[in-house]
Chain A
Amino acid sequence: MQRMACSFPDEVLEHVFSFVQCDNDRNAISTVCKSWYKIERWSRRRVFVGNCYAISPDMVIRRFPDVRSIELKGKPHFADFNLVPDGWGGYVAPWISAMAAAYPWLEEIRLKRMVITDENLELISKSFKNFKVLVLSSCEGFSTDGLAAIAANCRSYLHCRNLRELDLRESEVEDLSGHWLKHFPDDYTSLVSLNIACLGCEVSFSALERLVGRCPNLRTLRLNRAVPLDKLANLLRRAPQLVELGTGAYSSELRPDVFSNLSGAFSGCKELKSLSGFWDVVPGYLPAVYPICCRLTTLNLSYATIQSPDLIKLVGQCQNLQRLWVLDYIEDAGLDAVAASCKDLRELRVFPSDPYGPEPNVPLTEQGLVSISEGCSKLQSVLYFCRQMSNAALMTIARNRPNMTRFRLCIIEPGTPDYLTLQPLDVGFGAIVEHCKDLQRLSLSGLLTDLVFEYIGTYAKKLEMLSVAFAGESDLGLHHVLSGCEKLRKLEIRDCPFGDKALLANAAKLETMRSLWMSSCSVTFGACKLLGQKMPRLNVEVIDERGTPDSRPESCPIDKLYIYRTVAGSRFDMPGFVWTIDEDSAMRLS
């Protein structure tokens, strides 16, 4: 067998391997024999690092010398909800420096929840001869000056550099000025995708118009709120080939000429499949998009503060809709209409219009979700904020949609029971995990005992990510999950009475997962120290802004705990409020 494997020239094997793109398959190929390992590592072009602290840049570069595309993730998911203090980490700087030296042909950088500075952006703009794609998802630490550097260096005669994608999804950008857009050179025409929806400042509109006008391959354009509606038609007429559009503020005085201009412009966009934006919607302007509704597959109305009747009129025309994001203004009645019209729906997200109000402000209940589960046979992914739920509804949803793969339910008030029976919602969620055998992601809410975790541990065999808040009664709950969920990669828990026992009993499990987050639980510093000592391939980070955990009794619960597997050892950039423990049992400060 070995002789046969070696009898193919390297180039042939490399060519065969080039058809295999999936990371897991590539990893498998590399374990066949030394020669395959060698060929594979030289030909790996795309690397995904799910936790930037799990490995060091040098280790990646040493193994894969010729990477063209890298994706890095930094902070844990709960950072999205302000649970991770500023300064915790996730700095991309060491990666950029190392790659600037080692990967001159790098084409794509995709970052999520990382800290990137203007200096880093400038280094990116100058270091990579063929740079094409920059995606910054939920990142922070940079300003519009950094964007100016990217724009200014997007095109290079010396090299073949031609930026194609600049996507700032939901990043936090310091708005110093809208002039950065002017830095795109006049002869730059290769833009394919531009997403600036997260920017607060007004960008130079004439520069934007000219840029859009001279880039014939532009497919995706997501504007920010500051782009007024009366300017939208001009942009659309310059880019009728757009496939994805995010409008700016969708409001203006109602004027027939503006309306007809806009309507005509939309009609001219025959390829448009995705719409988003819609801040500050004036309902009178919605009919301008009716002509294209039948082609839409994605519709994001999650900023649109319009009422159910207007939403129904709009969504009712989108028979080919696959993805709908909307506010709870849609109401149960609106979701009934969606269930009747949008038979191809795969993903639904319903966001709360009044997340902090004490009382429900709209008639949106569990019933809306039940209707969708009945009417939309292809439904796979749900994110649903509501204020009441019942076990009966959950069981109905589970039986209707066994093909569900992502189910995230947020009942707004913590600890809310089944509103019909006043029982915990254990059996309802139990039905979800029992029927939806391919469930990959689950978020729980409402009143829940240890029983729900027993169900999860028993049935959720494909579950990869679980989010838990204000649930459970004892360590048994956590133990069920850690011992039962074979495919679990990410577990995030807040405000649950889980402590040391389950954690220590399942220490080995933690090495099979990407990460575990626990905040406001009952884990003691003593247990953390023990875990850190026993498990050298885990970083056990205690995050506590109250000062050193040693100043409190060892039995006192810590504030936040973030455990992740790593081959890079303790990191060097920890701030003062993060404590970690290494093998020689000394408590290490940054």
Chain B
Amino acid sequence: MSPENRKHLPESGSTGLNLKETELTLRMPGETRGDTEIGAKSGTKRGFSQTIDLNHDRSSDVPEHDDRCCDKLENETLAVKPPAAKAQIVGWPPVREFRKNALKSFKFVKVAVDGAPFLRKLDLEMYSSYQELLCAFDNMFSCLTIRNYLNEKKLMDTANGVEYVPTYEDKDGDWMLVGDVPWKMFVESCKRLRLMKSSEEIGLAPRTPQQSASTS
């Protein structure tokens, strides 16, 4: 059983078996292996480099995204790696989901819906865009559906046609319309969310922080 008598695999590159070429990757149609996924955190939940973002030019959003990540994480070695384009083999390395989740930061905020007696909680770190957040509302409150993708962020109760507009309370205690600031800035400053009935929206103007008029 001496090693000399055994065949060894032909060495092709430093890793021997060159698995990179056969790895599955997630990317938008038309991208090649050379493209990198910008802003992807290691272990990120989304593989797409672009998510539908309603108000912002994606290319201008992304560098901010990176900068903020790097600023926030400068004291940690768990830094965002710009070219994290390497695809992930299912179930490899063998690390359980809850361990991966523990390494991520989380930010739970309460979500209130006008007229409903219960509060729910969301982890804002689970989402990377306003569209994803809207989808989360849609899923969490089964009677609500997203309405008007293009320029407005609204949810509608399909049972009675009541429209809701997502609003949030920021660090200064002001109530703002969701969607006015870059996503990361929103996540950092949002203290809680409220789905406000459209009829009460008057008094909140987009882009101008105002004191809360109709909220309690």
Residues on A with beta carbons closer than 8 Å to the beta carbon of B95: 81, 351-352, 355, 385
- A303–B96 Cα distance when bound, in Å, is 12
Stretch from A53-61, A447-455, A549-557 that touches the partner: A447-455
A294 within 8 A of B: no
- The number of chain B residues with a CB under 8 A from chain A is 42
Q: What 1/0 mask marks residues of chain B from 180 to 213 whose CB sits below 8 Å from any chain A CB?
A: 0000000000000000000000000000000000
Residues on B with beta carbons closer than 8 Å to the beta carbon of A357: 42, 81, 84
Identify A280's interface contact among B1, B6, B14, B105, CB under 8 A.
Answer: B105
Taking CB atoms and an 8 Å cut-off, the chain A residues in 344-363 that contact chain B are 351-359, 361-362
Residues on A with beta carbons closer than 8 Å to the beta carbon of B98: 170, 198
Q: What 1/0 mask marks residues of chain B from 113 to 152 whose CB sits below 8 Å from any chain A CB?
A: 0000000010100000000000000000000000000000
On whether the beta carbons of A449 and B99 are closer than 8 Å, the reply is: no
Q: What 1/0 mask marks residues of chain B from 72 to 90 whose CB sits below 8 Å from any chain A CB?
A: 0000111101011010111
Interface of chain A, helix or strand or loop or mixed?
Answer: loop
- A483–B76 Cα distance when bound, in Å, is 49
Known: A329-B77, A353-B103, A449-B8. A81 touches B92 (CB 8 A): yes
On whether the beta carbons of B90 and A353 are closer than 8 Å, the reply is: no
Interface of chain B, helix or strand or loop or mixed?
Answer: loop
On whether the beta carbons of B91 and A416 are closer than 8 Å, the reply is: no
- A385–B1 Cα distance when bound, in Å, is 29
On whether the beta carbons of B17 and A415 are closer than 8 Å, the reply is: yes
Tell me, rounded to whole Å, the shortest Cβ–Cβ distance linking A534 to chain B. Answer: 31
Residues on B with beta carbons closer than 8 Å to the beta carbon of A454: 1
Known: A81-B91, A354-B42. A424 touches B8 (CB 8 A): yes
Stretch from A42-50, A265-273, A314-322, A406-414 that touches the partner: A406-414
Tell me, rounded to whole Å, the shortest Cβ–Cβ distance linking B81 to chain A. Answer: 6
Taking CB atoms and an 8 Å cut-off, the chain A residues in 438-496 that contact chain B are 447, 449-451, 454-455, 458, 469-470, 473, 494-495
Q: What 1/0 mask marks residues of chain A from 403 to 445 whose CB sits below 8 Å from any chain B CB?
A: 0000000101111110000111011000000000000000000
Residues on A with beta carbons closer than 8 Å to the beta carbon of B34: none
Residues on B with beta carbons closer than 8 Å to the beta carbon of A447: 9, 15-17
Q: What 1/0 mask marks residues of chain A from 357 to 385 whose CB sits below 8 Å from any chain B CB?
A: 11101100000000000000000000001
Identify A422's interface contact among B14, B43, B102, B103, CB under 8 A.
Answer: B14
On whether the beta carbons of A422 and B11 are closer than 8 Å, the reply is: yes
- A416–B93 Cα distance when bound, in Å, is 13
Taking CB atoms and an 8 Å cut-off, the chain B residues in 153-196 that contact chain A are none
Residues on B with beta carbons closer than 8 Å to the beta carbon of A98: none
Residues on A with beta carbons closer than 8 Å to the beta carbon of B123: 200
B3 within 8 A of A: yes
Residues on B with beta carbons closer than 8 Å to the beta carbon of A302: 99, 102
Taking CB atoms and an 8 Å cut-off, the chain B residues in 2-25 that contact chain A are 3, 6-9, 11, 14-17, 19
Identify B9's interface contact among A80, A410, A449, CB under 8 A.
Answer: A449
- A179–B121 Cα distance when bound, in Å, is 13
A201 within 8 A of B: yes
On whether the beta carbons of A305 and B76 are closer than 8 Å, the reply is: yes
B46 within 8 A of A: no
B94 within 8 A of A: yes
On whether the beta carbons of B43 and A356 are closer than 8 Å, the reply is: yes
Known: A280-B105, A305-B78. A412 touches B93 (CB 8 A): yes
Residues on B with beta carbons closer than 8 Å to the beta carbon of A202: 108, 121
Known: A202-B121, A351-B99. A80 touches B94 (CB 8 A): yes
Known: A414-B89, A414-B92, A427-B3. A473 touches B100 (CB 8 A): no
Known: A352-B95, A355-B100, A424-B8. A415 touches B86 (CB 8 A): no
Identify B8's interface contact among A78, A416, A423, CB under 8 A.
Answer: A423
On whether the beta carbons of B3 and A451 are closer than 8 Å, the reply is: yes
- The number of chain A residues with a CB under 8 A from chain B is 55
B48 within 8 A of A: no
On whether the beta carbons of B77 and A362 are closer than 8 Å, the reply is: yes
On whether the beta carbons of B92 and A449 are closer than 8 Å, the reply is: no
Known: A410-B93, A451-B6. A356 touches B86 (CB 8 A): yes
A91 within 8 A of B: no
Tell me, rounded to whole Å, the shortest Cβ–Cβ distance linking B107 to chain A. Answer: 11
- A305–B105 Cα distance when bound, in Å, is 10
Tell me, rounded to whole Å, the shortest Cβ–Cβ distance linking B26 to chain A. Answer: 12
Residues on A with beta carbons closer than 8 Å to the beta carbon of B84: 356-358
Residues on A with beta carbons closer than 8 Å to the beta carbon of B9: 424, 447, 449, 473
On whether the beta carbons of B94 and A410 are closer than 8 Å, the reply is: yes
A83 within 8 A of B: yes
- A169–B191 Cα distance when bound, in Å, is 31
On whether the beta carbons of B93 and A352 are closer than 8 Å, the reply is: yes
On whether the beta carbons of B43 and A355 are closer than 8 Å, the reply is: yes
A84 to B, closest residue via Cβ:
B91
A225 within 8 A of B: yes
Tell me, rounded to whole Å, the shortest Cβ–Cβ distance linking A476 to chain B. Answer: 11
On whether the beta carbons of A81 and B14 are closer than 8 Å, the reply is: no
Identify B121's interface contact among A201, A413, A455, CB under 8 A.
Answer: A201
Question: Which residues of A approach B to under 8 Å, CB–CB?
Answer: 78, 80-83, 170, 198, 200-202, 225-226, 279-280, 302-303, 305, 307, 329, 351-359, 361-362, 385, 410, 412-417, 422-424, 426-427, 447, 449-451, 454-455, 458, 469-470, 473, 494-495
6 residue pairs of the A-B complex, CB under 8 angstroms, read A305-B103, A353-B77, A354-B78, A358-B84, A414-B17, A447-B9
Question: Which residues of B approach A to under 8 Å, CB–CB?
Answer: 1, 3, 6-9, 11, 14-17, 19, 42-43, 76-79, 81, 83-84, 86, 88-100, 102-103, 105-106, 108, 121, 123
